[in-house]
Amino acid sequence: MLNQGINLADIKETNNSRVINLILNQENITRSEISDITQLTLASISKITKKLIDYKLIYESKYVKGKSGRRAIGLAFNYNHSYILGVKISRGYYQISLFNLKCELQESFKYDYVLDDAELFIPILAENIKKFIKKRSDIILISFAVPGPFNHKTGRIELMTEYTYLDQVNIYELSDYIDVPIIANQDANVACSAVAGYYQLEEDTLAFYYLDKGVGAGITSSYELIKGNLGTAGEVGHISIDYNGKDCSCGNKGCLELYCSTLSAIHEINERYGTNFKDIECFFSQTQNKSYFKETINRLAKYISIGALNIINAYNPSIIVFGGEMMKGVEYLKEPILQMLEKNVVKNIYSETNLIFSDNSYDFVLYGTAYIGVDYVLNNLSLLLKYK
Ligand SMILES: [Zn+2]
C-alpha cells in the first residue's frame, strides 16, 4: 500500500533537513560521513549539499581528515545566511531585536506605547518593524513573545492584567502591513525555548517559571513545548491559591499573579506599609534595613513557592528555572523558596527536581523569540531556501 501523506517534495524536504541538522550538530562534517549516517548515496548527498551551498545556507569550511586518511572537505552552517526579528511585547514597553540564525543579538530597540488608542498599536508597530526590513531584505521571520493568555489560533491577547491597553489586540493583523511570515507565542513559552541553549541542558523536561509583571510558566516535555489547544498552557498565573481571595480580571478569585507578579507585589507593599516604591527593584535595593523587609520577603517566597509547587506537581519537570524581574531579589528569595519547597514537595520528587535561580541578567523572553524562530525556520526550510 502506498504511504499516503508523504510525497516526493516531503521526502526532499526531509532529506534537506536531515543534512542540515547533521551539519548543525557537527561542524566540519564531510559528505561521506553524512552519507554513512543517513544511508543516502554519496551522489544524493553531493546533490543536496550543492543546492544548500548554492543557497549559501552551508559552506565548505576547511579540509579535514576523511575516512581513508585522505583529505576531505568539511561543511559548516552559515549562521548569517538570513535573520529573524524578535518582538517582545511587555507591559509598559515593547522591544524589537534582530538576531542571526545562531540566536546572536545584532541590534535591539525599545519602544514605549505612545497612544491610548489600541486600534493604532498594530499600524505603529508595523512602521517600526519596517525600519528594520528596509535596512535588510534577508529577514525571513518575525517571532513574537506575547503576555499570556495568548490565543495562538486567533492571534489575540485574551487578557492582559494590569495593562488592559493591549487586551484583544490581534497580533496577526500585522500581516496586513508586512509581507514577512509571523509567529507568535506566549512569553513564558518563548522563554522556555531559550533555557536549554543558555544553560547547555540536555534534559527533555524543563519548566521556566516566569515571575515578571505577569506570572506564567513555559514547559517542555520530550523536548517539545506544551502549548495546549489554544497555546495558553502553562498559565499558572491564573491558578487560584485562595478561593476566597482577591478578584481577578480572568473571572476567578485568588489567582497567583495577584500575589507574586512584580506589579502586584509592589502594590501590596505600598498599600501595607504606606511606601511609594515605583518598582520591585527599588524595594529590594532600598529596604534591607527596614523592619518589614524580612516579612515581605517571606510572604513573597511563600506565594512563589506555591506556584512552583503547582508546576512541579502538574508537570514533573527535571529542571525548573526561576526567571523574570522578581529575580532581581534572588539573593533574598532563594533560601526561603528552597526551604518551603523542600518541606512541601514529595521527598523523592523534590530530590529529582533541579531548581535553577536566574539573576534576571539574561532576558530569556527576548532571546527566546530567536530560539523559537530558528526552530521554526529549520522545520520550514522553504523560508530559508528563498534567499541566496
Ligand atoms: Zn486570574
pLDDT tens digits for range 151-210: 989 998 888 777 777 877 899 999 999 999 999 999 999 999 999 889 988 888 999 999
- To the nearest 10°, the Cα dihedral for 120, 126, 128, 133? -170
Mean pLDDT of 358-385: 93
| Cα 238 to ligand 1 centroid, rounded to whole Å | 4
| Cα 248 to ligand 1 centroid, rounded to whole Å | 5
| Cα 210 to ligand 1 centroid, rounded to whole Å | 16
Q: What pLDDT does 190 receive?
A: 95
Question: How does pLDDT run across 228-247, given as a tens digit for each residue?
Answer: 999 899 999 999 999 999 99
| Cα 246 to ligand 1 centroid, rounded to whole Å | 9
Only one residue has cell 489586540, namely 169
Residue 1 clears pLDDT 60, i.e. is over it: no
Lookup: cell for 233? 498552557
Q: What pLDDT does 289 receive?
A: 81
pLDDT tier at 8, thresholds 50, 70, 90: low
d(CA 242, CA 134): 51
Q: What is the mean pLDDT of the chain?
A: 91
| Cα 158 to ligand 1 centroid, rounded to whole Å | 12
| Amino acid type, 200 | Q
Q: What pLDDT does 182 receive?
A: 96
Only one residue has cell 523523592, namely 348
| Cα 237 to ligand 1 centroid, rounded to whole Å | 7
Q: What pLDDT does 119 receive?
A: 81
**Helix, strand, coil abundance in the chain, percent, nearest 5:** 45, 20, 35
| Cα 361 to ligand 1 centroid, rounded to whole Å | 28
| Cα 382 to ligand 1 centroid, rounded to whole Å | 40
| Cα 167 to ligand 1 centroid, rounded to whole Å | 14
| Cα 211 to ligand 1 centroid, rounded to whole Å | 15
| Amino acid type, 160 | M
| Cα 336 to ligand 1 centroid, rounded to whole Å | 25
Give whichever of 8-12, 64-68, 271-275 has the largest mean pLDDT. Answer: 271-275
Question: How does pLDDT run across 83-118, given as a tens digit for each residue?
Answer: 999 999 998 899 999 999 999 999 999 999 877 677
| Cα 15 to ligand 1 centroid, rounded to whole Å | 46
Q: What pLDDT does 123 receive?
A: 93
In percent, the amount of the chain with pLDDT more than 70 equals 96
Residue 126 clears pLDDT 50, i.e. is over it: yes
